[in-house]
Structure formats: C-alpha cells, structure tokens
Amino acid sequence: MKRQFLTVISAVALTAATNVAVAGDVAAGKAKAATCAGCHGANGISAVPTYPNLAGQKEAYLIATLTGFRDGTRKNATMNPMAKPLSDADIKNLAAFYSSLK
C-alpha cells in the first residue's frame, strides 16, 4: 500500500516536471528571438511590408509553421535557413514569446 502511494506520488511529480519542460519558456524565447528581430521587429511587429508580424500569433500555429520551415515542408528561401538550427525546445520557446506579445 505504501509502495503504491509512493508510485502515485512519483508519477505526479514526473508529470509536473514534464509539463514544465513541454511548455515554452517566454524568457528563453525572447533571448533566442534576438536573431529574428531584424526582420520581425523586437516587439514582433515588422517594419517591412513583406515580413509578417508575429506578435500575438497563436502559439500552436507558430510551433507548426516553424517546424515546417525547419523540416522543409514549408518552403521559403529566407525562413528555411533561419529555422534550420532551431531545436524543438527553441521553437516552443519562440512560439511562447511571440504569442505572449500584444
């Protein structure tokens, strides 16, 4: 009985730790976005008509489209090389950052 209780407790602790790792980190995303700011703006609002605004965009959409740029399923000569070096964690953090901007 005691052993079973401990198993439940560690499962809960593990789930909590996993959730932290899964959710994007806004501060880490902001740091990573330094290389994106030249085109998409420091506040996610672009100054160039052909560069899209990212501020307030849906987090899940940003994850999906950045993953697409990285993996080549979404093709764009500018964005494919920008997304190439991004890890899954980088993408989640960038998505959390841009979606948090208003």
Q: What residues numbered 12-51 form the site for ligand HEC, per CB under 6 A?
A: 35-36, 38-40, 50-51
Exactly one of 63, 79, 96, 101 binds ligand HEC (CB under 6 A); that residue is: 79
C-alpha to C-alpha distance for 86 and 67, rounded to whole angstroms = 9
If one asks whether residue 70 binds ligand HEC (CB under 6 A), the answer comes out as: no
Exactly one of 41, 54, 92, 101 binds ligand HEC (CB under 6 A); that residue is: 54
C-alpha to C-alpha distance for 35 and 31, rounded to whole angstroms = 9
| Alpha-helical runs (H) found in the chain | 2-22, 26-32, 37-40, 59-71, 79-83, 88-100
* Cβ closest to ligand HEC, residue 39 vs residue 55: 39
* Cβ closest to ligand HEC, residue 11 vs residue 71: 71
Comparing every residue's Cβ against ligand HEC, the nearest one is 36
Q: Are 62 and 44 in contact (CB under 8 A)?
A: no
